[in-house]
Structure 1
Amino acid sequence: MKNLLRNSLFGLLIACMAVACNDKNTVYHSYQSLPDGGWGKSDTLSFQIPVTDSVPTTFRLFAEVRNRTDYPYHDLHLFISQNMLDSMVWHTDTIAITLADSSGRWTGKGWGSIYQSEIFVKSVRPLHPGNYTIKVMHGMKDKSLQGMNDVGIRVEKQHIEN
């Protein structure tokens, strides 16, 4: 009986998470895991974004990170390059994500020893359908940045209200 109740609660939790994560505005959402030995200064993460809409749509780009409690800083600087406006031209933004407040308390959503944070990067409007790329590098001084677990990119359709 105890196992049945536990399995039922676990199933309900999974179902709720699946419904919550199924956002019809999200056109792309992916994470890449980082090595346990650290994120190298020259290690570039690449995300391939397929744009299939024949009518140009404005997209909102978000960067997401998962850090462990052994991350040594309060913030994280990222260089995010994308070619979504024109597949031949790269645009790079420097983004600062606050991961902990001044007292050292993690600001992201957390469970156990991992915390997840996100930040809006920018809105872009591709000129035509195609496969685009978003590249992410860390902008910290460390040659091998410790305490980072995953880096993700989320792309959503932007709704313009009249």
Structure 2
Amino acid sequence: MKSLLKNSLFCLLAACFATACYDKNTVYHSYQSLPNEGWGKSDTLSFLIPVTDSIPPTLRLFTEVRNRTDYPYHDLHLFISQNMPDSTVWHTDTIAVNLADSTGRWIGKGWGSVYQAETFVKSVRPLRPGNYIIKVMSGMKDEKLPGMNDIGIRIEKQHTKSQD
């Protein structure tokens, strides 16, 4: 019960902090919580991304991971499928998110039993405004992956030389 209260308090504080630090270049930022008993190998997380600009800019896609200290590995492999350049064509990338160094020390931000790490995935340029989907699946061998709290997607407008 204390762990649940601690995790809930952490998520509430993180949400308040994220709202206070909102960046005008961020066009989408969302997390999905995972079950305490583990993230199932066949469980797919889906994020609906609305792109409203009449001429969409190039976007930078990041994945964010919140893990607990009972996560048994140093990294996390993810399959990220997205249809952002063209809503009819799906692209899948396999990425590795480093969560701990070689000694087992967590390298993400956080305190207590929850840590957060992020990884740049790729830059994409939607062809037109619309609703796009990003799907995230675990690329790990475990049928139920323990120690994961949340998986998030953040999308930012990519800076160009003229904006600097």
Q: Normalised by the size of structure 2, how large is the TM-score?
A: 0.87
Q: Identity, % of aligned pairs?
A: 79
- Give, in whole Å, the separation in 1 of the partners of 2:18 and 2:30: 15
- Give, in whole Å, the separation in 1 of the partners of 2:93 and 2:58: 18
1:15-49 residue CA offsets vs partner (Å, 9 max, x unmatched)? x9367521000000000000011000000000000
Structure 1 stretches of 4+ moved >4 Å: none
AA of the residue aligned to 2:89: V
Q: Which runs of 5+ in 1 are unaligned?
A: 1-12
1:102-130 residue CA offsets vs partner (Å, 9 max, x unmatched)? 10000000111000000000000000000
Residue 160 of structure 1 and its aligned partner are, at CA, apart by 0.8
AA of the residue aligned to 2:126: P
SS in 1 for 2:17: helix
Pairing 1:143–2:143 present:
yes
- Give, in whole Å, the separation in 1 of the partners of 2:98 and 2:21: 24
Pairing 1:35–2:35 present:
yes
Pairing 1:91–2:53 present:
no
- Give, in whole Å, the separation in 1 of the partners of 2:21 and 2:142: 34
AA of the residue aligned to 1:148: M
SS in 2 for 1:156: strand
Distance 1:37 1:19, change over 3 A: closer
Q: Which runs of 5+ in 2 are unaligned?
A: 1-12
- Give, in whole Å, the separation in 1 of the partners of 2:42 and 2:21: 32
Pairing 1:70–2:105 present:
no
SS in 2 for 1:17: helix
- Give, in whole Å, the separation in 2 of the partners of 1:19 and 1:41: 31
Over the aligned positions, Cα root-mean-square deviation in angstroms equals 1.6
SS in 1 for 2:141: coil
- Give, in whole Å, the separation in 2 of the partners of 1:23 and 1:98: 25
Distance 1:19 1:37, change over 3 A: closer
AA of the residue aligned to 1:140: M
Q: In the alignment, which residue of structure 2 is the partner of 1:22?
A: 22
AA of the residue aligned to 1:110: G
Distance 1:156 1:140, change over 3 A: same
Distance 1:42 1:26, change over 3 A: same
Q: Normalised by the size of structure 1, how large is the TM-score?
A: 0.88
